[in-house]
Structure 1
Amino acid sequence: MKRLWILFGMLLTLCSLILTQPVQADEAEKEARAVFVKMVNAAKASNSAEFKTFISQEDLKEMDAEGFTDMMMMMMAGENPEQFKADVKGDQIVFTKEVKQSGGGGNSTETTTVHMIKEGGQWKFGKPKEAP
């Protein structure tokens, strides 16, 4: 009888772990998407100072040095975060949008990818980090 209770306890623990993972991923996606929306809204308002707060420090330094920040802001102003699908991988999320186009020359697919990473406990736009 004791073995049955131990087995039952292990089964409950396993079920709890399995069911918790999607909830954590959903919450991470929700938080990151909210930051993505704020970033796009800052870009649409041409608020460069606010826009920069949503970019990781490392990437912001690189973008500013190359004069790329304003161009990125203009590109982001045309996006709708709700059109992107999310792929959650721990402290990194990849948002992807595919647009299929047909024309006289054939069909093509345009893919837009936005990488979000955790920096200081906050979701930021930034290059994906390699696993240690």
Structure 2
Amino acid sequence: LTGSVLTPLEMMACSWIKLHPEYHAILSNNEALVQEFTPEQGQTNPFLHLSMHLSISEQISIDQPPGIKLVAEQLSRKLDSEHEAHHQMMECLGRALWESQRNGQALDAHAYIESIRRLI
């Protein structure tokens, strides 16, 4: 992306990538695009992790599901860190997505927001 104008989404992605120096080597390696990252190997998938940061950022920016912006701000204040708040919210989002998939239903937005609210 050197020398090109970034889209708002690319700028957001760059911001999160900067906060994760542990992923810089992986992200600059084209072979990592096909690498499998498994919990059994003690690895976090950097692409999934950064995608979840982007998903949560987008949810907050449009307040969808309704109320997520408020609970995200409250959690960020409590933890004194937007980054750590995102990491805790990722657990909630991951659980909500897993339950949705397991049950063959749409994501339960109310349960998702409530799981974040319990962290405050």
TM-score by length of 2: 0.30
Q: Which is helix-richer, 1 or 2?
A: 2
Instruction: Compare CA radii of gyration and give the structure with the larger one.
Output: 1
